[in-house]
Structure 1
Amino acid sequence: MKLITRFELASKNENELHYALRLAFNELAKSDAGSPKRRNALASIENIQNELNSRAPCP
């Protein structure tokens, strides 16, 4: 899996972010432990979650 950066995610809407999160999670589930694919999937998931959290309304 290609690493998805915060820069790439900034131009996506919330539905696209949730879709990307699902794809990254599926790639993570299929990857081998310690593989570059797994590291990229984990980093992408973290980037997507950070982007979603940055858009969440503050209470």
Structure 2
Amino acid sequence: MKLITRHEAQKLGLEELHGLFREAFNAVATAPRGSQDRRNALNSMEAIEHELNARGPCR
């Protein structure tokens, strides 16, 4: 999975962020432990979650 940075996440809409979070979650579930894909997915999830939290609660 391609790494999503916080900077990239800031430019995306909520629907895109939720979709990418779902993709990253699925990548974590299927990637081999210790693989670069798994690390990228976990780091992407963290960046996306940070951006979602920065925007406040969904309305």
Q: Counterparts of 2:11 and 2:40 in 1: how far apart (Å)?
A: 20
- Other-structure match for 2:25: 25
TM-score normalised by structure 1 residue count: 0.91
Aligned-residue offset at 1:53: 0.2
Root mean square deviation, CA, Å: 0.8
SS in 2 for 1:3: coil
Aligned-residue offset at 1:22: 0.3
- Other-structure match for 1:9: 9
SS in 1 for 2:46: helix
Q: Counterparts of 1:20 and 1:41 in 2: how far apart (Å)?
A: 10
Identity of aligned residues (%): 53
Q: 1:16-56: per-residue Cα shift (whole Å, max 9, x none)?
A: 10001000001111100011111000000000000000000
Alignment: residue pair count: 57
- Other-structure match for 1:35: 35
Runs of 4+ in 1 over 3 A off after TM superposition: none
